[in-house]
Amino acid sequence: MPQFEPQDPDYERRVRASFARQRIMETIGATLQLVAPGEVEITLPFREDLTQQHGFLHAGVVTTIVDSACGYAALSLMPPETGVLTIEYKVNLLAPASGARMLARGRVTKPGRTITVCAGEVFAEVDGQEKLVATMTATTMTIRERPGVSD
């Protein structure tokens, strides 16, 4: 896995402050864990009120946490005075999202001036073991000088 040098020495505080503004995270009960250069982890305890019809977490909930993990992994490498937007992502759902807790990990695959590509994984903690339940590839964009979009 590549090592990245952050352009903003204050990257961790910046990511944590932006995450704190994502009101959805409080609504679903997700917590920001690791913030490292090019890598972010978010956890989500299982909740019945976030499930789909078979009793698993809805794919959209899994996507929510891994999208934020990828977006903030990208932001951790962006220069000061910029913002991050997700342009698109693709998610493969590999196993049912059941288990006591989900761990979403986002990592930068390729940083760039405008486009940063990230890879995400979501693990379910089942009986003390981690099981891979989803993968994401996300394309994010560094936003400069757009009112309302800074992080």
| Smallest separation, CB 104 to a second copy (Å) | 10
The dihedral built from the CA positions of residue 137, 3, 15 and 80, taken in this order, carries a sign that is negative
Residue 119 in contact with a second copy, rule: CB under 8 A: yes
Distance from chain centroid for Cα 5: 19
| Smallest separation, CB 9 to a second copy (Å) | 21
User: Up-side HSE of residue 85: CA atoms within 13 Å toward CB?
Assistant: 11
Query: How many residues lie near a second copy (CB under 8 A)?
Result: 51
Residue 126 in contact with a second copy, rule: CB under 8 A: no
Using CB under 8 A, pick the residue from 8, 37, 64, 73 that binds a second copy: 64
Count CB-CB contacts under 10 A for residue 128: 6
| Alpha-carbon separation of residue 112 from 4, 75, 101 (angstroms) | 12, 11, 33
Only one of the segments 5-13, 14-22, 33-41, 122-130 lies at the binding site for a second copy (rule: CB under 8 A); that segment is: 14-22
Read off the DSSP letter of residue 48.
Answer: G
> Binding string, 84-113, against a second copy, x = CB under 8 A?
-xxxxxxxxxxx-------------xx---
Residue 21 in contact with a second copy, rule: CB under 8 A: yes
- Tokens standing for 73? 């992994």
CA distance 130 to 55: 19
Using CB under 8 A, pick the residue from 4, 12, 22, 36 that binds a second copy: 22
Query: What angle (nearest 5°) sits at the alpha carbon of residue 37, between those of residues 35 and 42?
Result: 25
Q: Which residues bind to a second copy, rule: CB under 8 A? A: 18-19, 21-24, 26-27, 48-55, 58-61, 63-65, 67-68, 83, 85-95, 109-110, 114-115, 117, 119, 132, 135, 137, 139, 141, 148-149, 151
